Structure 1
Amino acid sequence: MSKIYKHYKQRLIEISGKNRSLYSKRVTNKFSYDLGNLFAKDEKIADSLIDFLWSGKKLEFEVIGKDRKDFIYKKINVEKKLSKYKTTYVNESGEEKTDYLKIERAKNQELKRAMIHEINCLKQLKREIEEFERETGRYELYVGYPFVEGYIGKDLEVRAPLILFSITVNIENDTTATIELLSDEPIKLNKVLLFAYATQKHLNIDDLETEFDNLKSCGFKKVEDVIDYLKKFDINVRYSKQTEFVPFEPVTKVKYKSLEVKNYCVMGRFPMTNSIYNDYEVLEKKQLTTPAIEELLFTKQPKKSKKISTDIFPISFLDYAQQQTIKNLNKNFNMVIYGPPGTGKSQTIVNVITDALTKGKKVLVVSQKKAALDVVYNRLATLNQKAIIIADSDKAKSEFYQKAKQEHEAIMQIEGTAFLDKFHELQNQIDNESAELDTINNILFEQQPFGLTLQQMYANSEIIGKHSKDYAIYKNMFQTKELMDMDFNEISEAQKLIKDKKKDDLYYKFLEKKQINPLIDYIKSDIDIHTLNQAQNLIKSVASNKFIPFDMTKRPYARDLLSYYLEHTDSENINYRPLTKFIATTQYPSLYSKLNVSHVVLPMYPFVKHKVNKIEKEIESTFNDTLEDLKQYIAGYEVLKKVLEPKGYLLTLDNIVSGNTMYLKMLGKALSDYVEIRDINICLNELTESEKSILKFAYKNSDNYKGFKYIVNKITVFRTYNEIISLENKHKEELSKLADFVNIRNRIISLKGEQLTFNKQLCYEKNANEYKEYFYRNPENSKNFLYQISKQQNLWPIRKCMQVYKDYLLKLFPCFLLSPEIASQILPLEREMFDYVVFDEASQVFVENTLPCIYRGKHIIVAGDSKQLRPTATFLKRYMGNEDLDDLDYSTQAALEVESLLDLATSRYFSSNLTYHYRSRSESLINFSNYAFYGKKLQIAPDISKNNKESPIERIKVDGRWIGAKNEKEAQTVTNLLAKLLKNKKRTGTIGIITFNIEQENAIEDAIDKLERQDPEFKMALLLERNRKENGEDVSLFIKNLENVQGDERDIIIFSTGYAQNEYGKVVARFGSLSNEGGENRLNVAITRAKQKIYIVTSIEPEELNVAGTKNMGPKLFKEYLKYVRAVASGNKVETSIILDNLLPDKQLQGDDLNGKMASEIEKLLEEEGYKVERNIGNADYKLPLAIYNKRKDKYILGIEFDYSAKDSSESVLERDVYHPTFMQSRGWNIYRVWSRDWWLNKNKVINAIKKEIDKIEELSN
């Protein structure tokens, strides 16, 4: 572990290597302002500023203003600038004179220009400080004076402020700016510098004080006194007695080997946190670890708990994905929660917290974004009494103790307690109602032996009443075993084969021909043309000549003998005995009957037997002659044997021998249609048994061709109806629950609402009672604790209070919400002091910032979105870890290469996905992201309106120019639009402005500042909007670029793309971070911030952007998004759909729909009633099969779903029957469900019910 911690610690140093509190190469407008340069080489002003900072007596100090014009003249070298003006004139006498008035005017002009420039620099710094405070909660604007420059040891380069004075900048107008000391903030020695020195020199500086209310009152009269104080701790800095300020000149490398004091005076943002590094020192030294860390770094699986709680205790209504996430959390030690934009990630975290707190667990929520912590804290509502949020440990100290005392007092007044019995009672009722839904689901959607679910049967059948024309056919089907033994798949497959090859037509035609000509059945299928001609010629010959029949009088047994002979012609020795006996028996039946009598009863038996034998011999004696005559007679018909099957051949010869030529004529007719008959025969010979059964039944039960076809097509309906009747009788009770479905659903929702209210009470009172019990159990310690949280002065640092009274504070506040830095700053480094550590916005946090927090937790929850921003650190890697990591296993080496916690946790922990999107009121606002980044997996409610009056995306095209990486025309247009929105009294929506680079962000800020000075109404409205809060959450106007907008959302988002033709008429698109690997994630974040409306201000058409040469997806998707915006804004739905579909990697194919007929029938009937009905509303996976649209209101007034469409949307009964309808209702939809059974029972009743529902909605809306 030591090697791993060292590696991560080294990465921390790399990140802080560019820390302005340790090393600054130059002054940059964004982060600093050089007071030393402004007041350089003036001892008087230096003394004045130092006295202001040191003593804190004056309230403010003027930086820019009338009294400072001489310093500005000096800074801009006004004499040199005046040289470009013509400052002389020739008088009447021809003498050249100096125009002092003109010089003064020129000086004033240059002064004003310079002052505005200085003010703008201060504005930029002020914006950065305020934005950083909004993002993190930390206020880090200081005057750093003096600086220390040189090396600590051999390698650590330092150019850092020594003392930091917390200030605020006040900009009164274009020419006046002052700074003001924050009286409630201590003066600080640079902890980062001192810590770096102590680390390099291996010093112990635990007793070194770094914060002072007043330097003079603490014995520090001058800088030299501070240097002397540091020497006591072996921190050595050389001091020069220079009193004038010197400019902070840019350097590439410091000159001095040892540390020296430099009289720089710089106002800027100086980060002061180094607490995470301190934690790593302890982790590394003591080799500390936990199962959560080992699973994260080494994939070592922790032991699973045998006891798993199935109860969950949310305080707000969860959608199905959120509920499953919390349930999964109870089954798994550590987990990743994927939360795409607007899917309720914060709400899920809130319910994770309340679930844990109710179970007596402690929770630490960690995020680097203050806004994310604020959202969670505020959504805890009244339960945030059990949570503590600290963004700045120095500022929050008094507030921390005040809240601790208030909460202690509130708890002591609580008397009752909520019991779990009530929760379980409600849960049992919910489970019972859910079981009813399961019953409905099981009976409708479990596949039956017939091969269909009951729902599918309803959709594919109809009622066959006793008075129906089909009833007799249906009854006959019962008598047909072959059909009753077939299942749905066999019948439908057989029907398909029959239909595809038109076998029903062939079958019917063949049987009709056979009715007329029985010989058709016996024609061979392999007759060659020669044989066919021979047979036809024979038949013609017989017909044209006189037919001579066989002489039957001469040969009475000829017919029987002929048949017998032909049947046994293949035998070598024909046994005629059976034939002889047959003929004799037929002729002498009475004689033969005597042979069946017993010898005893019939004494004459021997004589009878003798006579029978004699008769048989006489008959058989004629056979040879008869057979010879027959052979000669039939020899002329030998060719018929080649065209007829044996049975047909025998039948035909039998008729010929008996003198009947009808069969010869029928044969002639059949042979004339031979090709057609052959083809039919071949086809019918391939019929399966199922096909034969269906065709046979249809023919038998029909009177004509139309009736035959009708039965063939309706066989499935008949057979399915039979199955339905059987199941209806079997499951009467279960099916009766369908009538109560809406009530069941409403009862579940009502019970859950009651449970949520109770959960809040249960969570608070359970924790309050645990605190009370602990407090009374330890009276002496409790007395001391109460003293510490009640006193007004000499407040302990929060960390010290946490170390001494951790158990009290964690029972008082079982939930802490902190940044990684503040967590390390105020919490003792104690193993698993929290049951859960929840990381929010985890895609943006570096792994090295999280391990100390993970060490403090038993279970880890990592929440974020891999499709959003990754960690960013604009730093140069000045220190590289050089330790050998090759001896670590590949899994651990891979872990050390990953930057974000989310990326690492994804490959280690169980994951759960949030899928229901809530943020965007219109699907147009989120569809691009859903298709391009989430594969159409987000659950999005279809738009309730067609947006005919106002598009949710509006495109404003301007003729801007891209000069100096900004577009002034767009900035002005954005400002004008903002002013219009702010002055609109009807507007209630919050506003955010997003740009694609920082230069455009600054250009918009400057344009807003300018309008603010010119327009008092705008100024007042802007002030209100910039300080706007709702329910405790900051919803003020923001102006940000792609890099820092994650986690924010506003009703209205205004984009300024910036890109345009430059001064040379060329569009040069430098995409910046958008073109980096993963840059498309920045786009995804930006385009998913809007709840109601997006305005895109642009100066180009998408086609003007050349992205062909770009390596990564960011620019390409940006171009596609601009196309999408144009299509949506212009109302081009076809183009919009094409753009979206092209974003999907795989086109999704639609399967066969057994249920489509029902939707089509309902659509047709409703349209006949005059309603405007539309199909498949919605672009994502969830589509409403039908929706009723009111054109006058531009609104869908009713969405119609079917039992089968709901089933297709989710396998979970609760999700489709409770959670999803609730989600749709929350998005403004009225949903009516049609049950296939109701439609099967009574179609008119269903249509009337839908009409009644529409009337009710219309009445309520009016």
Structure 2
Amino acid sequence: MELQKKIDVARRELLDLTLRNPLLNYRVLKKKGLNITDEKSTELYRLLVNNGKNMSFLSEKDLILPPETKTSDETKTSEQPAMAEKSDDKSSEQSETVEKTETEISQQPESTEKPLDGSSRHLISAEESEAEFPEQKVPDINQAESLKDEIPDYLELLNKSYSDLKIQTRYSEKELQERLLNTYHTARTFIEERGVNTLFLALGMLLWEEEGKPERKYRAPLILIPVELSRSNARERFLLTYTGEDVQLNVSLAAKLMNDFHIEINTEVEELNVDEYFRHIRDAVISRPTWEVAENEIALGFFSFGKYLMYLDLDSSRWPTESQLFNNDILKALLVDGFREKQSELPDDAYIDPYIIPKENYQVVDADSSQTLAILDILSGRNLVIQGPPGTGKSQTITNIIAECVARGKKVLFVSEKLAALEVVKRRLANVGLGDVCLELHSQKANKKALLSELQKTLELGVPKTNNMESRFDEYEKLRNELTGYCKRINEPVLPSGLTLIRLYGRLLSLKKLTDSNGIQLPRINIPGMDKLNDIDYENKLQKVKEFQSHIKKMGVPENHPFWGTALTVVLPAKKDIVHDKVKKLRAAFDNMIFMLDEIGAELNYTPEKFLDAEKLAETLELCKTMPDITGFEIESSLWESDELQIKKLVQDGIRLKEIYSKNQNLIMDEIYGQDLLEKRRIIAANKDRFLKFLSSEYKKAVKFVEGFFRSPQKRTPSQLLEIVDDVLEFNRTKLAVENALPQYQQLFPSHARGFWDTNWSIVKNGSDFIIQLHKGISQGAYASEILPVLQNSSIVDELLKLFPAYKDSLAVFSNALGQFNNEAEMKPGTGINVNSNDFALISEKISGWDDGIETIFDMAAFNQYAEELKHFGLFEIVELSQVWRSAGEYLSYILENERCQALLEKAYREWPELSRFDSMQHREKIERFIALDLSFMSNNISRILYEHWLNKPKPGNNNQGQMGILLREFQKKTRHLPIRKLMPRAGNIIQALKPVLMMSPLSIANFIEPGQLSFDIVIFDEASQVRPVEAFGALMRSKQAVVVGDSQQMPPTSFFDKVIEADKIDEDEDYVGDVESILGLFLAQNAPQR
């Protein structure tokens, strides 16, 4: 009975029937969740669950109020439909509110939403849980009935609102969006971290009182619909959707009522009828006249059922006698006796090839020797702990373990608290082709339609194709033995060290183990000559490196030192004072520069953050000294840059028009412009050099036509006529170009654009040339774009130009002070302050570091001395690494040892006598052939496993009764499928036969597998450091063998949702399980075998 006693003590951790449990005492949180106003539970259930609709939310301003509740402002607009604001006409306004809310929430301190350790344990704070359930401020449904005769229009609108897709609340638009956003982020974090959806829409509340305390009523939700919030983007409204998971009834409330009041309510309903269930609750609590069932009191909030379900699962009275709950060998070892398993037949340094028989091997992914040792131990029936930090192939090992177990016809239970860890293994199995043997029933993935679809697909699988590999097994073993023999023969000492290859490898592994245990990875730096060192020379170098390492440990990482970059090797006190004086002058110059930047920034409404930007602004102000009058120009338009050539062409054409007109205005009349003179020009040009041209009638007509526009009647030569005609033709062409372009670009100088004729093109040219030059410089990074908004404000420009000389001088003074400091401190190029990339905050920080840490300059000089000495010893690479490697103060000497071992290994492979006679091509071919066979065996292993699965899985036949019949009937249904927790007891055995690998969480085990219903040959816990012992007991009770995989260096499980009942008088021995934070820790504490 000792085991039962300890399990009973442990399971009490899971029970929470206190008023801290929101399932018993619901109060809306201060920043998350919603109280829903004036909606019907039956309608919301119909719309969300039965019809699968998406629903949005309405704020207080969108509520339907009876006439007497309207404000005076509302009365003035009473002609407008009461539901006008409920339409989507307000979507843009709401979008703006959503976007604003998103920004405001993102600017809240992180501590209000996210804990420092990254877990979700503080997502719902104690302060938030104190929020009271607000009093309803609008007429409820009964009040609406009393208003039936007075306000039929209102009541008609109200009734319509119950069946629309908008959920009413009493929150302002801003608060509504804040709450929805907080709720959305919290729910998403739960799913990402725990794989559990805790967001529910609670329909109906039981208002109950504690015995003898009638002064306060508590609210307990009755029906809980699992929902999710979603939106397409940050400007869209949130939508509420039913997730498809099972609708929950309040099992915690049922336990509370039975324990405290001996009232029994039903929480096992196959087809839920909301009205009938509320009547059932009323009937159940009829003996409590002061209690009330508020069926239309609705809330959106966070609830968790998991701990109570696990509490029930560990109840010995629920387990069949034949299941021998308290005779479980694993639990006995964990809680009573400790593990006393015999020593493994395979020591850690075992040569594993003889133990691997190809015909009996079913691995599907690569496994190294340590992973293979673990797999062989498990196949021998040992309970085992597999430890390793992230990236050491634990999920790869699990994949092979599952494959080996399925091939041997074993039933596997894979358990992971976190969905992400489960999906890694599931994805690995699916990637190799074993996805069909697995059934994922993690809390967030338990969807009954998806489950049935997956089962039906597996049931209908055909016979897998397999290849006969028997003939290749002998070849495989022969190649393996040859390659192995080669490895054995190279176990010889390596001169001049006298160390064997095994010792060299052993030392390298020790270094790796030592560094891995501290999370350190030794980088390779390839020091020349390490393979030629005798022991004395090596020890001398090692001693120097250790002294160097000790100094680095004292001063910290060199590249993070304030004076990193100085070339000084000797610093006397006088020198330190000189450097310090330069630092203080640099600080003064920097502060003055920042002061001038602030002065400029106050006028410009922009303050550069980098010296490069400050210089750019100075260049811009220099240009502004020559700025023409640009009044009336739209200087910020992007057209100045994109259409530069077109703008210049327009201005040139405008000026040319004026030039042509001015040139000829005293010679010809204005009416000539616009005349089509092209044909006249051809005629005159063709005849101008002919002697008898006056005899040509068309020539005379052309001349007469042109001369008709001259102001004086005197005769002109053909050349004079052609010059005038060419001017007119050019004028016409240019005028047309201006008329076409001016409408497009007159927006750039609207005050000056008065048509092509009246535009002052000279002013336009001066202004546009300046603006184009400015925009071009901005695009090339030479000028500051921030000057654009103020250029037309003459007072600001005057003030800027007034400040400019002092501003420019401050930049020069700072640059000069920096140069003097660099010279005095002998700063190497590229170190110290980089004015091209460092912002002013970083520059100030560096100056402060020099000022405050002036005494540390001696440490940096000593570092330079050590570095020069090591370079003299030929350890240049050690010096280079020490400057940047954060672990140099602890592990730099290990680098030297690692490099020596690596160099000796390389020398052995170069100089070994047998290697000189070794045919590398043949050896490579053997390796490649062995690899190809190994890969083909792994590929064929998948087919072999699938074939064994197909042989063992049930197949539908003529007698489709029992569990098979139940499953086939569920496949045929379109709706009203059995909930998973109902389907598993009725068809669990056949489901397990179809899917020999169940992938679950501790919660889903308690939720879906009844006590004693299914048993497993092996349970595998992944990320076991995240699983509490008591949460693992349910899986262990159902299993004959346990494999616990994890990393004891990881953080223990989060305490989020823990509602621990304080036990009375629990002695140290009874509370042993509670002292251990994870199932991994408990296995280790009880001396379980591990790899």
Q: Calculate the TM-score normalised by the size of structure 2.
A: 0.46
- Which protein has the larger Cα radius of gyration, Structure 1 or Structure 2? 1
Could you say which structure has the greater relative contact order, defined with CA pairs below 8 angstroms and 6 or more residues apart?
A: 2
Q: TM-score w.r.t. structure 1 length?
A: 0.40
